[in-house]
Amino acid sequence: MIIIGLGNPGEKYSNTRHNVGFMVLDRLSNSWKKGPNYLYSDINISGEKIKLIKPMTYMNLSGEVFKYLPHDDIIVVYDDLDLPLGKIRIRKNGSAGGHNGIKSIISFIGQDFPRIRVGIGPKPENIDAADYVLSNFTKEEFEVLDKIINLCTEAIEYIVENGIDKAMNRYNSIEISIGK
C-alpha cells in the first residue's frame, strides 16, 4: 500500500493549512529518503509494508508523482477547505471538489482512489481561498490539529487492518473542537 500526503515543499509552507497531508505522514515516520521528485519512507503497519510518499512538486502538480509510482492500492491524505477544522472524511473516490492537488492526481489516474480529507475550514469570508490555505494555523487551531493528525494516523492503521468501508463507518462522524 502507498499513502500519499499532499503539501508544498519547503520550510516556508511547513506549517500551513495546505500541508496537512505532509503533517499526517510526518507523524507516521520521521525518516525520509529521496526518490525521483518525492520523499518516501517505508513503514510497517500490522505486518503490512506501507510506503509513505510526500510529492516534492508544488500542490498543483501533485499528480506528477504517478510518473514514478503505481496507482493501485493507494490512499491520498489532504486538506479540505469545505470541512471544518476538527473533522476528517474518508471516501473511496470522488471529485476534486476544487482542490488543485486532487485535480492534478485525477488528471493522471482518474478519480477512483481512496482518500482522507482533513478539514481546515471554514474559510473567513474576507480572505481569498489561496491565501487562506497558505496561512499558518493559530495556536488554538494547532491544538485541534494535533488531535486530528493523531486521529488520521489511527484511521490509516484502521484502514490497513479492517478496510476502507469499516473505517468510513468508524471515523466519518467524529469531530474534535477547540477546548475538547
99 in catalytic set: no
Sign of CA dihedral 14, 118, 130, 40: positive
The dihedral region occupied by 72, where left means phi > 0, alpha psi between -120 and 50, and beta the remainder, is beta
Catalytic residue selected from 5, 6, 18, 160? 18
CA nearest neighbour of 108 among 140, 153, 76, 154: 76
Q: How many CB atoms lie within 10 A of CB 91?
A: 16
* Residue that is written with C-alpha cell 468508524 in the block: 170
The length of the chain, given as a count of residues: 180
Q: Is 127 helix (H, G, I), strand (E, B) or coil?
A: coil
Phi, psi of 103 (to 5 degrees): -55, -45
Query: Helix H segments across 127-163?
Result: 129-133, 139-162
Supply the residues annotated as catalytic.
18
